[in-house]
Amino acid sequence: MKTFFAAAALGAGLLFASAASSEDLRATGDLGLIIERATGTALIVESTDRTVLAQVEGLGNLSHASVVYSRDERYAYVFGRDGGLSKVDMLTGKLVGRVMQAGNSIGGAISDDGKLIAVANYKPGGVNVFDAETLELVSEVPAIYDEVGNQSKTIGLVDLPGRRFAFSLWDGEQIWILDYSKSLKPEITKLEDIGVFPYDALVTGDGRHYIVGLFGEDGLAHVDLWKEPLTVERIMDGYGKGEEPLPVYKMPHLEGWAKANGMYALPAIGRHEVLFMDERDFTEVDRVKVHGQPVFAMARPDGRQIWVNFAPPHNDTIQVIDILERKIIKTMKPGPGVLHMEFTPRGNEVWMSVRDKNEIHVYDTTDFSLKEVLPAEKPSGIFFTSRAHQLGL
Amino acid sequence: MAKTERSAQNPLRSFLKAGVLALPLLTGAPLGALADEEALKIIDREKLTDFVQQDCGSCHGLTLEGGLGGPILPENLEHMDSDVIQEVILGGLPGTAMPPWRGFLTETEAAFIAEGLKTGAFK
């Protein structure tokens, strides 16, 4: 009896303690992670008052790192170039898990049920899949694409509805779809001859269209994931019009945010243009000449504006295209090395990494005024937790 | 820098020399007779190292261990002479994603990078 009372008292005390600290509780919906690529660190930031909350250390080589979030927005999964997969607690700012899962990797995705983390690797080429809770390896898919056993670098990994993932083979010129809905031994669908050097891919927010950019050709590969059996078709074929492509000093990126107002905004390869493609028939609607080789062409969440950054030597500049007239409405020079942009969830502000200034800039997207400058060590990718609820991000 | 550089034969040596001369700078000792030309080289050396890590690194990885582009660490380049590497840097590799950097880099700068890649100076 005494024990019971003691336990009850202790329980009450705990309850009281947690009630007292509830003022300190916070949610994660306005948080984000900024990669500091040279130091293997990341900043946890919040976008309501635009401040830095913590710095997370020990993340390894973060050149070209990317991030996905658990569906409760509590944990960030950071994919490093060195093959490291790190799990970061966004509330405590602590590294809570880390595995070296390959020699060289490029990015990852989280399954729609939040249970599986998939990582696309360059070396050894293929995709590894992990338990999101424990980071235990649960499936390995080597991207062997011919009889000789050649293994391809993998790119453009995204999640699809129904516990599936899609990715592309840089060397193998294929698209693979992994289906984990029945077991951890995936059913694999392979689509061949998609085109030369697929460099990145996107899936639309509805999970219907997987679109792959090709470095070696002036066209894109497209799969309508709602139409069985799956087939791959070439779209925007010959957008270069036979002209000699310009050298590309940084690979562009494709993500699902490209869709806006019935169109996709896509960076052209080897041309200083953003291409606008009809979302229904995949034909060209328009093209806009821009300041350099576009790297990211990102729609503001409402789709009204497309923000574009550029490869060297033009990476000090940002241009904003109005979607209605497809005219450049703003050109600005935040500084050398503008690597990445991320919109706040409703698009009122955009955060920008200005690497060579060691700064993060926050701009108002309506009047383009500079709202904040935050210090960061060689910042690159910026990832807000709101990505947790967007397919393909 | 390249305009005043005459001994294009071994730019690495002069860069290394510049690096040694930089020591008094770092320790706060007076510059003394350290020529402006040398100071200029120090800055450029840093700039080129940064260029290799950031711009080459965007394809070859920040520590040059490879990305979409292959690894370019000393052990990967053993079979290539530095003048060949210099030519690849300046002229690119047609049919691959390696672009020509002529226009961004002078002959001397490309030679410095080629030599540095062979010796692992940018790791």
8 Å CB contact of B92 and A81: no
Q: Which of A122, A214, A295, A353 to mutate to test the interface with B (most CBs of B within 10 A)?
A: A122
pLDDT given for residue B104 in this prediction: 87
pLDDT band at B62 (very low <50, low <70, confident <90, very high): confident
Q: Supply the ipTM of this predicted assembly.
A: 0.72
Looking at the complex, report in whole angstroms how far the Cα of residue B82 sits from the nearest Cα belonging to chain A. 22
Q: What is the pLDDT of residues A21-80, one digit of tens each?
A: 667 899 999 999 999 988 899 999 999 999 999 999 999 888 778 999 999 999 999 998
A305-319, B4-18, B20-34, B61-75 — which one is most confidently predicted on average?
Answer: A305-319
Residue pair A263/A285 in contact (Cβ under 8 Å)? The answer is: yes
8 Å CB contact of A122 and B62: no
CA distances for A303 relative to A115, A211, A261, A324, angstroms: 31, 19, 6, 10
What angle do helix axes B11-26 and B36-51 make, rounded to 10 degrees?
110
- Which amino acid would we find at residue B117? L
Looking at the complex, report in whole angstroms how far the Cα of residue B57 sits from the nearest Cα belonging to chain A. 8
pLDDT of residue B8 exceeding 50, the answer is no
pLDDT given for residue B41 in this prediction: 55
Instruction: Identify the helix (H) or strand (E) that includes residue B52.
Output: none
Between A294-298, A382-386, B49-53, the lowest mean confidence (pLDDT) is in B49-53
User: Which residue matches tokens 């979030």?
Assistant: A69
Q: Which of B52, B62, B63, B101 to mutate to test the interface with A (most CBs of A within 10 A)?
A: B62
Contacts of B54 in chain A (CB under 8 A): 337, 355-356
Q: What is the pLDDT of residues A88-143, one digit of tens each?
A: 999 999 999 999 987 778 899 999 999 999 999 998 899 999 999 999 999 999 99
pLDDT of residue A7 exceeding 60, the answer is no
pLDDT of residue A385 exceeding 90, the answer is yes
pLDDT of residue B21 exceeding 60, the answer is no
A-chain residue closest to B62, CA distance: A63
Mean pLDDT value across residues A370-378: 96
What is d(CA A331, CA A333) in angstroms, rounded to the nearest whole number? Answer: 7
pLDDT of residue B34 exceeding 90, the answer is no
Of A341, A351, A392, A393, the C-alpha closest to A374 is: A351
- pTM greater than the 0.95 cutoff: no
8 Å CB contact of A81 and B67: yes
What is d(CA B100, CA B87) in angstroms, rounded to the nearest whole number? Answer: 9
Contacts of A67 (CB under 8 A, 6+ apart): A33, A35, A76, A77, A78, A79, A381, A383, A387
Looking at the complex, report in whole angstroms how far the Cα of residue B107 sits from the nearest Cα belonging to chain A. 18
Residue pair B101/B90 in contact (Cβ under 8 Å)? The answer is: yes
Residue pair A101/A84 in contact (Cβ under 8 Å)? The answer is: yes
| A254-273 residues labelled b (16+ CB within 10 A) or e (exposed) | bbbbbbbeebbbbbbbbbbb
pLDDT given for residue B1 in this prediction: 33
In the stretch 63-82 of chain B, residues with CB closer than 8 A to chain A read: 63, 65-68
Mean pLDDT value across residues B14-43: 42
pLDDT given for residue A38 in this prediction: 80
8 Å CB contact of A247 and B55: no
What is d(CA A266, CA A101) in angstroms, rounded to the nearest whole number? Answer: 32
Looking at the complex, report in whole angstroms how far the Cα of residue A48 sits from the nearest Cα belonging to chain B. 31
In the stretch 7-46 of chain B, residues with CB closer than 8 A to chain A read: none
pLDDT of residue A196 exceeding 60, the answer is yes
pLDDT of residue B16 exceeding 50, the answer is no
Q: Does B120 lie at the interface with A, CB-CB under 8 angstroms?
A: no
pLDDT given for residue B63 in this prediction: 82
Contacts of B55 in chain A (CB under 8 A): 249-250, 312
Residue pair A306/A265 in contact (Cβ under 8 Å)? The answer is: yes
8 Å CB contact of B97 and A104: no
